Amino acid sequence: MSAPIEHQVIEADGHPLFVLVPYQEYLRLTDEDEDAAIPLAVSMAANLEDKSLVRAWREHKGISQTEVARRMGISRPAYARMEGKGANLRGATVSRLAAALGVQRQQLHDVES
């Protein structure tokens, strides 16, 4: 069992200024926020153009429906149904979609049922 890590606090005038943490912990703490960001173009397409988030991401990435379907190992019509507005997708399907689109699962947060 590994020993707990004690974080180093750097103070000035008796007030904490910084905390030194191991790099891996820093990555874990900051990874979700940065990776889960949705570009403005994707957000605008989904909201202003009334497209599904899945479609907005696919178009933003410049990938065809056929290519995403190929990456997922499914037919294009099956993928097209997943891309439809209001599609209720299982968690495992959202994970597969994220991998096929090259995005983080959190970036497709509103498509899971």
Average confidence (pLDDT) over 51-58: 95
- Domain contains 74: yes
- Domain contains 69: yes
- Domain contains 48: yes
- Domain contains 8: no
pTM of this structure? 0.67
User: From its phi and psi, is residue 38 left (phi > 0), alpha (psi between -120 and 50) or beta?
Assistant: beta
- Domain contains 85: yes
Expressed as residue numbers, the domain containing 61 is: 40-111
61-65, 74-78, 101-105: lowest mean pLDDT where? 101-105
Which tens digit of pLDDT belongs to each residue from 21-40? 887 777 666 655 455 788 89
- Domain contains 51: yes
Q: So what's the pLDDT on residue 35?
A: 55
Helix (H), strand (E) counts: the chain: 6, 2
> Tell me, what CATH number does 60's domain have?
1.10.260.40
Quote the tokens at residue 86.
Answer: 């209001």
Q: So what's the pLDDT on residue 24?
A: 77
Greater pLDDT, 96 or 36 = 96
